[in-house]
Amino acid sequence: MFPTTRPRRLRQTDVLRRMVRENTLTVNDLIYPLFAVPGNAVAKEVVSMPGVYQLSVDKIVDEAKEVRDLGIPAIILFGIPEDKDTDATGAWHDCGIVQKATEAVKKAVPDLVVIVDTCLCEYTNHGHCGYLETGDLTGRVLNDPTLKLLKKTAVSQANAGADIIAPSGMMDGFVQAIREALDDHDFQNIPILSYAAKYASAYYGPFRDAADSSPQFGDRRTYQMDPGNSREALKEVELDLLEGADMVMVKPALSYMDIIWRIKEMTNLPVAAYNVSGEYSMVKAAALNGWIDEQKVTLETLTSFKRAGADLILTYHAKDAARWLQG
Ligand code: PBG
Ligand code: ZN
């Protein structure tokens, strides 16, 4: 009891604080998202995400080199195809934009881990994450037919050289389906990072500008999770573990730190947190107004994800964070 006990004794100097610090952010924790578009020498800034660009494959390669030079171990690729259709052809075609970007990056920067997002919403003309019944205007994606397309997509991404497959569409059974498809094609060693607990979140708004993937009607609430639920997230993770997931993700991160924590407590697999577009844009907007200190707020936020239990953090701040961590 005070005055014998004084917690401030261990906070007196920087070196003492360093010695007793429980969680530390490092560059090894970071994964940087990139958006690939058709064309050459294209770098188009996303209006709602300052500092984030839609990049043609040549520019993606330059960016991948920069990311590698900063010591960031991995990128995650999203694609904006030339054409969209009901079958999401651009997602699973061997000449798809993500397949081309993956091949180019693996050729130029082989030691950089390439994660690919495996979903259909960027490639369907209606913007939903799978097949719809003809004439459906509500967005109730058909689960099992969608699995067939996801298998094709994952296999073509693996063929292109992807190191990790990250299915994000919240279809039931998608981990098992993709695992089977990968194994059937001799890709037993490619891990699956499942977007296990992905919520129907308004924080994805800026991403949908970046990926041009807003649903044309309806919303994603018949497949993404209700923000009011947490036990359901544990159920989703439990199923993904049984289906063979190698890593599980919580998304978004900031409003769902309790979920990160609970999932960390229940599984020994690595847990990833997706610091999503809206979270990034809020920090950027406030910083551009001079209302907050961008560096301090960002590093505090990313460290908090570690404290909550995240082993990996997908974040648009990755390059800045890597630079700040290097001092
Ligand atoms: C699509 C997908 C989304 C994000 C990544 N993949 C969300 C969505 O549109 O539902 C969001 C990422 C972000 O907001 O940064 N399956
Ligand atoms: Zn999707």
In a domain, 296, yes or no: yes
Other beta carbons within 10 Å of 69 = 10
Q: Which candidate, 213, 191, 216, 161, places its Cα nearest to that of 270? A: 191
User: From the CA of 317, how far away is ligand 1's center (Å)?
Assistant: 16
Q: Which residue's structure tokens are 């040549």?
A: 58
In a domain, 5, yes or no: no
Compute the distance between CA of residue 290 and CA of residue 240 in angstroms, rounded to an integer: 43
User: From the CA of 48, how far away is ligand 2's center (Å)?
Assistant: 19
Q: Would you say how long the chain is, in residues? A: 327
pLDDT at residue number 72: 98
Which protein residue has the closest C-alpha to ligand 1 atom 10? 204
In a domain, 125, yes or no: yes
Q: CATH number for the domain including 220? A: 3.20.20.70
Q: For a pocket test of ligand 1, which of 52, 77, 116, 119 has the largest count of ligand atoms closer than 8 A to its C-beta?
A: 119
* Active centre residues (catalytic): 198, 251
Compute the distance between CA of residue 106 and CA of residue 210 in angstroms, rounded to an integer: 23
What does the radius of gyration of the chain's CA atoms come to, in whole angstroms?
Answer: 20
In a domain, 299, yes or no: yes
Which protein residue has the closest C-alpha to ligand 1 atom 3? 204
In a domain, 97, yes or no: yes
In a domain, 1, yes or no: no
The number of domains in the chain is 1
User: From the CA of 120, how far away is ligand 2's center (Å)?
Assistant: 5
**Residues in contact with ligand 1 (CB, 6 Å cut-off):** 117, 119, 121, 129, 168-169, 204, 207-208, 213, 220, 276-277
User: From the CA of 168, how far away is ligand 2's center (Å)?
Assistant: 6
Nearest ligand by distance to the CA of 91: 2
pLDDT at residue number 11: 98
Q: Which two tokens stand for residue 149?
A: 């397309």
User: From the CA of 29, how far away is ligand 2's center (Å)?
Assistant: 24
pLDDT in tens, the chain (327 residues): 999 999 999 999 999 999 999 999 999 999 999 999 999 999 999 999 999 999 999 999 999 999 999 999 999 999 999 999 999 999 999 999 999 999 999 999 999 999 999 999 999 999 999 999 988 999 999 999 999 999 999 999 999 999 999 999 999 999 999 999 999 999 999 999 999 999 999 999 999 999 989 999 999 999 999 999 999 999 999 999 999 999 999 999 999 999 999 999 999 999 999 999 999 999 999 999 999 999 999 999 999 999 999 999 999 999 999 999 998
Q: For a pocket test of ligand 1, which of 31, 46, 168 has the largest count of ligand atoms closer than 8 A to its C-beta?
A: 168
Which atom belonging to ligand 1 lies closest to the Cα atom of 169? 16
In a domain, 314, yes or no: yes
Which protein residue has the closest C-alpha to ligand 1 atom 6? 168
In a domain, 10, yes or no: no
CA 302 to chain centre: 14
Please give the residue range of the domain that contains residue 118.
23-325
Cβ–Cβ < 8 Å for 315, 301: no
